[in-house]
Structure 1
Amino acid sequence: MDTRNRTEVTEFVLLGLSSWPEVQPVIFGIVLAMYLVAVMGNMLLVIVAHSDPKLQTPMYFLLSQLSFIDIFLTTITVPQMLVHTLSVHRTISYNCCIIQLFFFMAVGSMEGHLLAAMAYDRYIAICDPLRYFTIVTHRLCLRITLTSWVVVSLNSLLYSVLVTRLTFCGNQVTHFFCDITPLLQLSCTRPVVNEMLIFTEGVAVVVSPFFFILSSYARIGVAVARMHSVAALRKALSTCSSHILVVLLLYGSVIRMYLRPSSSYDLDQDRQVAIFYTVVTPMLNPLIYSLRNQEVKGALRRLLRKYYVSTCLGWIQTCQ
């Protein structure tokens, strides 16, 4: 990019999903509907996991943390995008942009770490079931969660600090939120250090959970194959299928977005892919876990029955 055009940027203009005014109301309606479903679905899972005594296990603790992360992830970006969709002014201050970048990278990375912890939980449950409750404890899950938060926060802080050291030759961000890729594209010079970090330290923090998940399921597959039992295979599939589907949805879009050379960046396509893992995936996660999990469906029925009974009793007392 021509260094003669460099300016001191105090705010960024977020171009959103589309520059066509006639489609903005359609985008607003679709994204708002998906956002509400994502927030309400994940919030319901959090309530069920913490209120139902039968779900007070490490696996559902991790699932509730994943739902919390999904709420946080979609709320970081979507409300602002909805406001900008129907607004002429689509600016965000420089400081708010860096803060948004920090939280988005930290929360997005945290989702992968939680999925890795859930894969380990499934591995112990299938391959070493007799020692499951002595190995996978609430204390271990809490320790994994806190350690992961520290790691992803430090990683996100590093990226955010490096972005603040860039000199920008423009302030129009081809995206609907402040993400690392479009910000690097605005740099007056090629950000070699940032790109090296993405493919080294970034891979270690973001992609290493994916390899851990693959390793866990490879071991599960070997263990199930040795059993020579159709019933064991069905149990393993019913136990792991929801988790595998969520992993594929998340990492399919993440690898497509970030782990490729900068020369192949297509910001118009990237912002369309981004809507998938910021809205669609958080919306689908609670549906996947509730529809394919008998324990969650049973807990939902008990919660709704309890709410219905308490509501009816309240009406009866009011009428009296």
Structure 2
Amino acid sequence: MDRLNRTWPQTFVLTGFGAPGPVRPLAFLATLGVYVLTLASNSFIIVLVQADAGLSTPMYFFLGVLSFLEVWYVSATVPTLLLTWLRGRPPIPAAGCFLQLYAVHSLGMTECSLLAVMALDRHLAICRPLHYPALMSRKAQLGLAGAAWVAGFSAALVPAGLTAALPFCRKQVAHYFCDLAPLMRLACVDTAWHARVHGAVIGMINTCNFVLILGLYGGVLRAVLKLPSAASRAKAFSTCTSHVTVVALFFGSAFVVYVGLPGSQAEGTDKCIALVYTLLTPFLNPIIYTLRNKEVKRAVRRVIQQIRAILKGP
């Protein structure tokens, strides 16, 4: 305990965004609105996948898992963002700061792995349609989803543990949540070695999953181009476009912030880009997956009809 007192300040201070006073209430309300809508829309998908038998396929199982993850992911950062809009520069206990750091990275790397699992599901459905039910059994679905969570929460121990072990001379975190780059700038020692380790671990998770996704979709593209009719090709592509859009949003912003050496970005840049994967992507995911999805729209109508029938009674 004495060692922790010597190396950690009792609290860190989140500086957030340097917005003028009159803008803060509007920013708070806008952020709160997006947060509530994100929680509601992702929770709706979870309930819909569980309630409607027509969505009991592997694709929608993984979509439900992704929505569950997004509820926690957005909740790991947005509350402190709201506090920065509301209170200016809120303090956060040191232990809470490192817990947030671990939560953000464990959930983020879990999402990387889960997106790769979802690409594998689409690859098997299109390239191995006859063997797909056996290959993607319920046991396989649970195993793949569980492996994604274990991989993410295990890998995040490295950057979170190494950062928590640093001695800190300052306590103002130039971010709206506790992240690697802004925390490392506060250290009393040279963090070049830590940055290389962080970049290697996070870069390996991001790069391996991204390369796997590219390879799987390369196989999907070859298989789709061999289909005899334009209608069948369009139908096959339509099951992948939503996932590809989410992959581009999430991996694009994550690569910019983390695959380069953490701490190498200019102050202010990383927190702006972080808004994409911590707030915008969880908000857009339900919209992207449901806007052009006829099966989800039909499921919504079926659930509404069931609710109406229950309310009307016998």
- Give the structure-2-normalised TM-score: 0.93
Which residue matches 1:133? 133
Contact 1:57 1:138 in 2 (8 A): no
Give 1:153-232 correspondences, 5 Å limit.
Answer: 153-227=153-227, 229-232=229-232
Does 1:71 find its partner at 2:60? no
Contact 2:224 2:237 in 1 (8 A): no
RMSD: 1.8
Does 1:40 find its partner at 2:33? no
Which residue matches 1:28? 28
2:92 is paired with a residue of what secondary structure? strand
Deviation at 1:79, TM superposition (A): 1.8
Deviation at 1:99, TM superposition (A): 0.6
Does 1:303 find its partner at 2:303? yes
1:86 is paired with a residue of what secondary structure? helix
Contact 1:18 1:24 in 2 (8 A): no
Structure 1 residues 263, 290: CA separation in 2 closer, same or farther (over 3 Å shift)? closer
Deviation at 1:83, TM superposition (A): 2.8
Distance 1:299 1:226 in 2: 31
Distance 2:214 2:17 in 1: 33
Q: Amino acid of the residue matched to residue 9 of structure 2?
A: V
Deviation at 1:167, TM superposition (A): 1.5
Which residue matches 1:233? 233
Structure 1 residues 235, 171: CA separation in 2 closer, same or farther (over 3 Å shift)? same
Distance 2:248 2:311 in 1: 40
The number of equivalent residue pairs is 309
Distance 1:120 1:236 in 2: 14
Structure 1 residues 148, 7: CA separation in 2 closer, same or farther (over 3 Å shift)? closer
Distance 1:141 1:154 in 2: 20
Distance 1:179 1:262 in 2: 9
Indicate the larger mover: 293-302 or 84-93. Answer: 84-93
Gap regions ≥5 residues in structure 1: 1-5
1:198 is paired with a residue of what secondary structure? helix
Q: Amino acid of the residue matched to residue 135 of structure 1?
A: L
Distance 1:141 1:104 in 2: 24
Q: Amino acid of the residue matched to residue 154 of structure 1?
A: S
Deviation at 1:296, TM superposition (A): 0.9
Distance 1:196 1:264 in 2: 11
Distance 1:166 1:40 in 2: 38
Contact 2:206 2:255 in 1 (8 A): no
Deviation at 1:192, TM superposition (A): 2.6
Which residue matches 2:98? 98
Deviation at 1:128, TM superposition (A): 1.0
Contact 1:10 1:93 in 2 (8 A): yes
Indicate the larger mover: 27-36 or 297-306. Answer: 297-306
Give 1:282-301 correspondences, 5 Å limit.
Answer: 282-301=282-301
Distance 2:25 2:309 in 1: 40
Which residue matches 1:252? 252
1:13 is paired with a residue of what secondary structure? strand
Distance 1:7 1:145 in 2: 37
Q: Amino acid of the residue matched to residue 81 of structure 1?
A: L
Which residue matches 1:242? 242
Contact 1:123 1:220 in 2 (8 A): yes
Distance 2:138 2:268 in 1: 43
Does 1:268 find its partner at 2:268? yes
Distance 1:302 1:226 in 2: 35
Deviation at 1:264, TM superposition (A): 4.2
Contact 2:199 2:258 in 1 (8 A): no
1:12 is paired with a residue of what secondary structure? strand
Which residue matches 1:121? 121
Deviation at 1:251, TM superposition (A): 0.7
Deviation at 1:267, TM superposition (A): 2.4
Q: Deviations over 1:134-185 (max 9, x none)?
A: 1111111111121222221121112211011111221001111111111112
Q: Deviations over 1:64-117 (max 9, x none)?
A: 000001110001111232133212550000000011111110111111111111
Which residue matches 2:56? 56
Contact 1:49 1:56 in 2 (8 A): yes
Q: Amino acid of the residue matched to residue 33 of structure 2?
A: A
Deviation at 1:270, TM superposition (A): 1.6
Whose relative contact order is higher, 1 or 2, with alpha carbons under 8 Å and at least 6 apart?
1
Q: Amino acid of the residue matched to residue 22 of structure 1?
A: P
Distance 2:89 2:291 in 1: 41
Percentage of matched positions with identical amino acids: 35
Q: Amino acid of the residue matched to residue 67 of structure 2?
A: S
Which residue matches 1:3? none
Deviation at 1:198, TM superposition (A): 2.5
